[in-house]
Structures are given as structure tokens and as C-alpha cells.
Amino acid sequence: MARLSQEKINEIRQSVDIVDVIGEYLSLQKKGRNYVALCPFHDDKNPSMSISPDKQIFMCFVCGTGGNVFTFLQKYLKISYIEAVKKVAEMGHIDLSDYHLDVETRPISKENATLYQMHEEAQKIYSYYLNTKLGLEAKTYLMKRHFSDELIKEFQIGYAPLQSTLYQAFEKLGFQEIDMVKSGLIVESYQHFDRFQDRIMFPLYNQQGQVVGFSGRIYKPTQTESKYMNSPESDIFIKGQVLYHYHQCKEAVKEAGFIYLLEGFMDVIAMYKAGIENTVAIMGTALTKGHIQALRRLTHHVRLCLDGDQAGQAAMGKAARELEEAGFQVSIVVLPDGHDPDEIYEEHGQEGLHEALKKILKPIEFLMDFEYQKIDSQNYDDRKNYLEKMCYEIAKIHDPIDQDYYIHVLSKQSGFSVDLIHQQINGLQPQFHHEVNVPKKKVVHLKDKYQQAEHDLLFYMLNHKSVALKYEAKAGFMYNDRYRIIASYIIDYYRHHNQLEIADFINSIQKEELIQTVIEISQSPLPAKYEEQAIDDYIQMIEQNAKRMKKEQLLEQFRYILDPQQKAQILNEIVKLGGH
């Protein structure tokens, strides 16, 4: 099957009208040449989203969100890029049955494509060996742990033999040794050998369902190594971005209306054995911003179910705060006796795990229990510190009924009066209750004349190939990092196209912040036609800025260099730059 080319993606995008698509989800009003709507991406009271039928893009002038039809569907439906492409293809009656759609379609570097391919091949090799004589003991162990053939297939579990079979297979497949080592699957010492040997192998996937790493588990009582060994981080495997089971749980999350956030992949598998599929695991790391963004695409209701030990409970409290601050509805599952879901399933089976998941607390309830267990209730200072800490948390609660309830609970626990607790909380509330439900407005940064010149030049580069070619020939540099990257994207795009359609162009850009900047620049109120003199002035100003920055760097060097000869050379360079 073929991968979707950029041209095919553009064809899919052009098969629909963005106005029709957004109109299926939002109420649109015609305003001049464009349409406007209430922005669904912030608390909008006046229509601030503009949809351009000419450019086939949308942009909110308050929160700054913008893009093409794919971007809108991704954000509105909380789906991946490839899912948005498939949905638009369906709307435009374009058949994609001959295309490979299981992985992310955005451009991937050749180096990363090789790493993905190596991991895909490794997964196949490990799966093969699990069903051979070499893997018999590992397979027997899995069966004793209630891993059925269906379960093994679902999670693509395999076996890494004691010999360096993967290295030999990679050699036969024609992979370069430098790439093998870069993948983390092969270790370079006095000779090359497999990182994972005599371990049961669990593939780790990115959010698009591509294998990016592995976790290998020992299975013999005689093995003395670490119980689990994970792939080292690489260009395609960043542990803080991996949510195990993410790409497999989407339908189950939609059906359940919430997601369980677990500690590790064995917990996910234990839940699956018990018939619970709306789960992901953070692979033993702290919750990251990347995790939170990924969760937001699935649901706004998270049930935290981390390990029941002291460390797991502390992590749960921190994760609950971060998720609540990000706007999630959060509840916490309190597991018994410091156990995790995998241990509970092994000891008590499906019914025992379902029963354990029933003890659910609100974050404030969990925090009060957790902190109260740490104090000596007979010690005045302990109770006072506990009171102050909990007042700080209760002050964040907006619902007066909920707040009153927890004030009374705190009074009973601590022995301090309700009136005293009210006084404490009333003193804290102003810092928590200002700007409640106020939409976050787009931050407008004033541009200096040099940055404005770069901004305006980019506008004309987006609209005219001749301007882009002139920039490349005469300047080729911008001081603003984001503008410089966008300029390089534009130049590259024009190498393959005579005209630039904004809605198609942004498909070639991976970073969301760059896409938003392109949309913002394209909406600038500048005249569509340009004068050559204006373009020359922009380029001249950019060159002046480059010289100015160079001169500042040289002056800085001049201050600290003591050698007279070097000082003279630097002074000569400064003079050559002139008075800019």
C-alpha cells in the first residue's frame, strides 16, 4: 500500500469547502466576504472566529487558534491529524482504500523513517520468536499469568532470545550499523549485540500507533537483572510523550465517557483482562504537558489510578492538581494495601479488580486523607500545619456548598472551629477567585521596525513566488527564529509549486505554533499587490538589522579581549559594517 503524498493530501483538502465543514458544527454568519462564528476553543461571547472561503482557512482573533479544515476537525473533534484527513476524504468522496493510513501522514525525516522501520521489523521478529522453541519457556510463563493468544496478539507481545538474533536480522535487511545503534535496539561495544536478550518484549507505541520502543521483562526465577528494561530515549522515543495504549483506547473512552490514567503497561493489560479498555499508562514517569494535551484530545474526565504505595499516592495528588488546573474533571481511585491493578487482578481476578475500582474520591477528599495520615493527630503543631495546608486547598473550591462541606470535615479532623477555618479561607480566596472563567486572550507583542519588516515581507512571500525568490537571492536570513523557519518552508514549497495556497501550505508544517503564525501573517491587513520598492525596503531593513546585530556582537567581544592584535581586527570589522 502507498503512503499518502503531499499532493494527495492537498487533493483531499480541496475536495471540500471549509465553510460547509465548519457549518456542520457551528452556526455561521456572513460578514463581508467571510463568515464569522463563536469560537469553540475559548469562552466566546461575541463571534471572534473568521472563516475565509477564499483562503480556505479559519482564525480566531481572540485566542489565536487557526488553520485549515484538517486543523479545525483535529481540535474540535479531538482527533489525530490522520483521522481528520480520513474524515475529510470521506466528506469529499475520495477513496483511500489503496493507501496506508495507520500511521501519521505528516512528513517524516529519512532518518526517523528508518528508525520506525527498524522498530516495526523488531516487533515482527520478537513476535515470531515467542512462538518458536526458543520462546517456549517465555510463552509458558505468559500463559500462567493469564495471557491468552488473543491478548498476546492484541498487545503484540514477543520474545527476545538470548543470542543476538535481532542484529543478525538487521544485517540481512540491509540496515546500517550507525542506525542500529541510534535506534537503541543494538548496543555497540567491542562488537555489536542486542540490547534485549532473554526477555519478554512489550512494544511501546506513539500516539499514532507506530512502534517507537520496547520494554523487556525477565520471567525466570534465576534471572537477577532488573525486572524491566526499557529502550533508551531516541529521536522517535521520548518517554514523557508516550501514553501506553493511547491509539487503541479511543472508542472505549468515547463509550465510557472517561479514561483511567495508570502507572505502567502491565496495569493496562490487567485492566484489559478484566474487560476494561478505556485506559492509558504514563510508563512510570511524572505527568507531562504532552500527556495532558494528548488526554485532552480524548476526554475531559480522568480517573487517576496510580500505584497505591506512598510514592504513587504523592504522584496522584500532584497529577490531580495539574489536570484540574488544565480544566479536567478529575477523580481518584484509591487501591487497597499499596497494590496496583496488575497485582489485584493476579490475586483476586476480574471481580476483585472491578470491586477495587469502585472506591473513588474527589481530589480534595484524597488529599485530605493522604495528608491527615501523615500527621500525629495528638500533636498541636501537626494539626495546625495540616489545617493551614488544607485551608489553602479548600479556598480553591468555587462551589459554596462543596466548600462548606469540606470546612466542616476539616473542623472535625483538626479540632479547630468552623468559624476560624472560615476566617482563614476568606483571607486566601482573593488570590484564587479572581479572573474566574475569563477567556485567555491572545497576547499581542509589539514589533520593532525590523521585526515588522520581516513580518510584512513574509506576508508577500506567502502571496508571491517572485518575492520569495528575491528574498532568497538578496537576504536569505531573518532575525526572528519563527519567521526564519517559516521563510525556509516557503522557499522549499515554491521549489515544487508555482503558487502557494495557505490551506495546502500549512499541511507541510508540523509544529502548531508555526501554523498559527502563518495564519496570523496571512490575515494581515496589507494590500495584496506590492511595490518593488517596498520589498527592497524590507530586505534592506533586514540586512541593516543583521549588520546591527553583528556589530553588537563584535562590540561585546571587543570589551573582553585583551590582545591588541585581536582588538584591531575586531575594530576593522566594525568599521567595515558602517554606521548601522
The CATH number for 131's domain is 3.90.980.10
CA separation for the pair 494, 469 (Å, rounded): 9
- Segment among 22-26, 45-49, 53-57, 426-430 with least mean pLDDT: 426-430
Looking at residue 1, its pLDDT comes to 52
CB 119 within 8 A of CB 17: no
Looking at residue 518, what DSSP letter applies?
A: H
Query: Quick check: 441 pLDDT over 60?
Result: no
| Burial 186-212, CB ≥16 within 10 A → b, else e | bbeeeebebbbbbbbbbbbbbbbebbb
CA dist 474 and 387 (Å) reads: 67
Q: Is residue 105 part of a domain?
A: no
- Do 281 and 217 share a structural domain? no
Could you list the residue range(s) of the whole structural domain that residue 52 is in? 2-100
Say whether both 353 and 411 belong to one domain: no
Q: Kindly state whether residue 301 falls inside one of the protein's structural domains.
A: yes
Asked if residue 369 belongs to a domain, the reply is no
pTM metric for this prediction = 0.60
Instruction: Print the SS3 string covering 237-290.
Output: CCHHHCCECHHHCHHHHHHHCCEEEECCHHHHHHHHHCCCCCEEECCCCCCCHH
Domain co-membership, 176 together with 255: no
Tell me if 342 sits within 8 A of 312, measured CB to CB.
Answer: no
Show which of 212, 237, 262 is a domain's final residue.
237
- Same domain for 427 and 454, yes or no, is no
DSSP letters, 117-139, are HHHHHHHHHHHHHHTSGGGHHHH
Domain-terminating residue out of 237, 264, 288: 237
Q: 442 in a domain, yes or no? A: no
Task: Evaluate whether 204 touches 126 at the Cβ level (below 8 Å).
Answer: no
Indicate whether 539 and 488 sit together in one domain: yes
Could you read off the pLDDT of 312-340 as tens digits, one per residue? 677 888 899 899 888 889 999 998 877 88
- Burial of 374: CB neighbours in 10 Å, binned 0-12, 13-18, 19+: exposed
How far is it, in rounded angstroms, from Cα 417 to Cα 410? Answer: 9
432 pLDDT more than 70 = no
- The pLDDT, as a whole number, for residue 215 is 96
Pair 138, 216: CB distance under 8 Å: no
Do 158 and 219 reside in the same domain of the chain? yes
Number of domains in the chain: 5
Q: Residues 159, 142: contact at Cβ < 8 Å?
A: no
Residue 437 scores a pLDDT above 60: no
- The reply to whether 276 and 325 lie within a common domain is yes
Q: Do 94 and 55 sit in the same domain of this protein?
A: yes
Looking at the structure, do residues 299 and 198 belong to the same domain, yes or no? no
Strand partners, 30: 35
CATH number of the domain that residue 347 is part of: 3.40.1360.10
**217, 265: one domain:** no
